Amino acid sequence: MKDLSVGELFGVEGKTVLVTGGARGIGLMIAAGFVANGARVYIASRSKDACEAAAKKLTAEGPGTCVALSEDLSTEAGCVNLAKMFRAREDRLHVLVNNSGTSWGAPLEKHSEKGWDKVYALNVKGIFFLTRELLPALDAGSTTTDPARVINIGSIAGERPQVFPTYSYDASKAAVHHITRKLADELADRRQKGGHAITVNAIAPGYVPSAMSDGLAMYKESEEIAKSGIPLRRKGAPQDMAGAALFLSSNAGAWITGTTVRVDGGFLAKL
């Protein structure tokens, strides 16, 4: 029987990981979790300075290491370039965390086309094109018992519409959850492509303090949600985000694909 120890089931030591949007917010929480458990982590962001500062701090904390890459993932060309930069440094990728995202809020009567194009370009197209470009590295990082992993960061807003006027954001996160299921089926068998298998799952965070969630403070409903709308009576924390990603990336999550894991303190279960 395979070792059922915690280290064997949940360890990620030695894995190579790429986290987009890893310089701040949920991406930084997830990157920190991998570094703290001995992985070699690459973080990508449009902000070169923020990315390099975060990578330096995470490497100092160890025991894993962190490397900064800078690119705009809202275009196909940016995704192609990031993949090239990564593959110039590594020949295999064990875990891709598609976390980069943006939001937009405006009343229905004033919601602009720019608000749709900006959000969909990064939140949906970015996931598709970067995953496509990194398939050779993911194939190289997969084995018969340990598939490569793609983890897309969705949102509970993609499961249930928010009370806020975030039309393009909510729809984009529903699209993230749907493309997760579609890619999961497509990438489950990679034997004819030189790999073994790639699992594709999504994490749907609830109310987690970040620059993006801070943007909801202008709406009076956000205070009510934070105070009494979460059954477990607290906002999300770094360990909640990192823990979900580590689980899906470890041996314990090797037979899970095509699912969206809600990490929301029970918000969507609230009657």
Q: Report, as residue numbers or ranges, the catalytic residues.
A: 169
Query: Contact 118/74 with Cβ under 8 angstroms?
Result: yes
Which amino acid, residue 165?
A: P
Q: Sheet containing 148-153: which strands, arranged edge to edge?
A: 65-70, 40-45, 16-20, 95-98, 148-153, 198-205, 260-263
Going by C-beta distance under 8 Å and a sequence separation of 6 or more, which residues neighbour residue 17?
A: 31, 34, 39, 40, 41, 42, 93, 94, 95, 96, 97, 249
CA distance 66 to 48: 14
DSSP code of 43?
A: E
CA atoms of 138 and 135, how far apart (whole Å): 5
> In 10 A of CB 70, how many CB atoms?
18
